[in-house]
Amino acid sequence: MATEQTIDVRSIIPRERHPRIFGTFHKLADGESFLLVNDHDPKPLFYQFQAELGQAFSWDYLESGPEVWRVRIGKPS
């Protein structure tokens, strides 16, 4: 079983965050996921995923602040 990749965007400059997140998502095989770590609720990113992918992704909050948000983002099988 492969180790789930973690992207901690707190250390990434803002203009590079969404391209890196979407690049990681598009490299996933069906049924795989990655963990996103952020210092605020990534709700705008969720809406971007919805706009670009419809229902072709999963989004599960594992931690919801107040200082750290962890979201598992995946490609359904």
Q: Where would I find the H helices in 1-77?
A: 14-27, 43-53
Q: pLDDT of 12-67, one tens digit each?
A: 999 999 999 999 999 999 999 999 999 999 999 999 999 999 999 999 999 999 99
pLDDT score recorded for residue 3: 73
Domains and CATH numbers, the chain: 5-74 (3.30.110.40)
Indicate the SS3 state at residue 46. Answer: helix
> In terms of Cα–Cα distance, which of 51, 48, 49, 41 is closest to 75?
49
Q: Closest Cα partner for 33 from 71, 1, 75, 77?
A: 75
Report if pTM > 0.95.
no
